Chain A
Amino acid sequence: MEPVKTSGPGSPITEADLHAYVDQQLTPVRHAEVEQYLATRPDESQRVQDWQRQTELLRGLLDSVLDEPLPLRLPLRPPPSSWPWRALAAGLAIAVLSAGATWFARGVYEERIAGAARPAAGTELTGFAHRAAVAHVVYTPDGRRPVEVGADQEQQLVTWLSRRLGTPVKAPTLGAIGYSLIGGRLLPGDKGPVAQFMYHDGSGQRLTLYVTREAPQVGGQAQTAFQFGRDGPVNVFYWVDRNFGYAISSNAERPELMRVAQEVYRQLAPPDAPR
């Protein structure tokens, strides 16, 4: 069942051809034929232009939805029953893809978070996400000593950071998605210590994971959607889960960061989280 649009070269131009012309679904040959036809038919040409304008307007109307963060309630993975090894909270998933750091999935959170997480206005990133971006910029270019403790001493690194942060932390294993651990360091946060883990991919591109306990509580719900923000060339994906703030910084593009963020979230989310 071939579509109407594929009327062969030379055959009369149909209305379906005109639509397919607007929708870029014609072969180059047929496209040229329609173009020729339109050149001699101002009325049809006007109609086609109106349709094209409609398409533009419709996209203008709806495209902003693409950049909204996803509502927390959307399930982002199969329910645990069918994926038994992934005992993640299924119904409630953490969300993705915010264009700016200023838009939160739930309007009601917005003000509370604004108060808690953004003491200062200014750059797009604020609070721990901003500190994470700065730490990324400061330490990733360091060729000789990007980390305090290297991956060869991972156990010591983790033990040390856990002790200093006063809670167990671990470095997610990102080998499966193409990143290996370089090491980590302890940094001053807003009021206390924070941990920074550094990874690199096969091309040497570096990525940092910033873990802090200084994340804001949001109306009793210690969790937010994934947020995306940028500071100069640094893209940052960050979120709050169980009073921990996580920020992943890299020069990579957003889809790549999202991929990493999902993996990190998957590994760090407590398996018994009551949702």
Chain B
Amino acid sequence: MRAPHEAEIVACIPSLRRYARGLTTDRERADDLVQDTLERAWGKFSMWQKRGAVRAWMFGIMHNLFVDRLRAQRSTPEDSAGDALPDAPQRATQSDRLEIVDLDKALQRLPAEQREVLLLVAVEELTYREVATALGVPIGTVMSRLSRARERLRAELEGSAVPARMQRVK
């Protein structure tokens, strides 16, 4: 019989993929991250002793892998996390695509640690405490990263909001 936590882990996968896609626009890279997260989760699965909600735990694993990857990337020339790949994969069938594209770019331009916090709070709806646990930082750090992320995004979107809206009208 399937252990309850096993089902819980499987149930997390769609959220993990959503989060990974927010961290990195590239679909393949995002799923690599999910795959490694799952492999690690299954590896640690038997040792896992109800240390908190499964979801937060899984996001914590993904965070560690993500940080490892950023470190590895830093030693390679392709350092600019901000540049969307030329053939960025298709996203939502959203009517306001232009705004979405701007948002995606702005999101990717955020420093990784701010991007993580913003996504975990706003999209994954983790509590601040869960985010702090997942990322291994104090709650005050979560709040300041959240604040900086939101302000920065606000400034970026404000700059592009008007033309985007005008183009959408036609």
Residues of A within 8 A of B (CB): 1, 3-5, 15-16, 19-20, 23, 25, 47, 50-51, 54-55, 57-68, 70-71, 73-79, 82, 96-97, 176, 255, 259, 262-263, 266
What is the distance, in angstroms, from A253's C-beta to the closest C-beta of chain B? 14
Tell me the dominant secondary structure on chain B's binding face: helix
Interface stretch, picked from B51-59, B63-71, B74-82, B147-155, is: B147-155
Q: Given A16-B143, A58-B22, are A63 and B119 neighbors across the interface (CB < 8 Å)? A: no
Q: Tell me if B167 counts as interface (CB < 8 A to partner A).
A: no
Best-surrounded residue of B15, B140, B143, B153 (most CB of chain A within 10 A) = B143
Q: Tell me if B6 counts as interface (CB < 8 A to partner A).
A: yes
Q: Tell me if B14 counts as interface (CB < 8 A to partner A).
A: yes
New A-B pairs, 13, CB < 8 Å, besides A15-B147, A259-B7: A3-B128, A54-B122, A54-B157, A58-B118, A59-B123, A61-B91, A61-B94, A66-B18, A68-B17, A78-B6, A79-B42, A82-B46, A263-B2
What is the distance, in angstroms, from A194's C-beta to the closest C-beta of chain B? 28
What is the distance, in angstroms, from B1's C-beta to the closest C-beta of chain A? 5
State A68–B103 Cα separation when bound (angstroms): 21
Q: Which of A47, A57, A78 contacts B99 (CB 8 A)?
A: A57
19 contacts between A and B (CB under 8 A): A5-B143, A15-B143, A23-B122, A50-B157, A60-B92, A62-B19, A62-B92, A63-B123, A64-B91, A65-B17, A65-B21, A66-B14, A68-B14, A74-B35, A74-B38, A75-B38, A75-B42, A76-B10, A96-B13
Q: Tell me if B49 counts as interface (CB < 8 A to partner A).
A: no
Q: Mark B96-110, 1 if CB is under 8 A from A, else 0.
A: 100110011001000
Interface residues of B in 106-158 (CB under 8 A from A): 107, 118-119, 121-123, 125, 127-129, 138-140, 143, 146-147, 150, 153-154, 157-158
User: How many A-B pairs with Cβ below 8 Å?
Assistant: 131
Best-surrounded residue of A47, A64, A255, A266 (most CB of chain B within 10 A) = A64
Q: Given A19-B150, A54-B157, A60-B92, are A70 and B6 neighbors across the interface (CB < 8 Å)? A: no
In the assembled complex, which residues on chain B have CB atoms less than 8 Å from the CB atom of A20? 128
Minimum CB distance partner of B18 in chain A: A65
Q: Count B interface residues, CB 8 Å.
A: 53
| Interface contact A77-B42, CB-CB below 8 Å | yes
In the assembled complex, which residues on chain B have CB atoms less than 8 Å from the CB atom of A4? 139-140, 143
Q: Which of B22, B39, B147 contacts A75 (CB 8 A)?
A: B39
Q: Given A5-B128, A75-B38, are A63 and B92 neighbors across the interface (CB < 8 Å)? A: yes
State A122–B51 Cα separation when bound (angstroms): 49
Best-surrounded residue of A4, A47, A61, A255 (most CB of chain B within 10 A) = A61
Minimum CB distance partner of A51 in chain B: B150
| Interface contact B140-A78, CB-CB below 8 Å | no
Residues of B within 8 A of A (CB): 1-2, 6-7, 10-11, 13-15, 17-19, 21-22, 31, 34-35, 38-39, 42-43, 45-46, 91-94, 96, 99-100, 103-104, 107, 118-119, 121-123, 125, 127-129, 138-140, 143, 146-147, 150, 153-154, 157-158
What is the distance, in angstroms, from A45's C-beta to the closest C-beta of chain B? 14
| Interface contact B92-A57, CB-CB below 8 Å | no
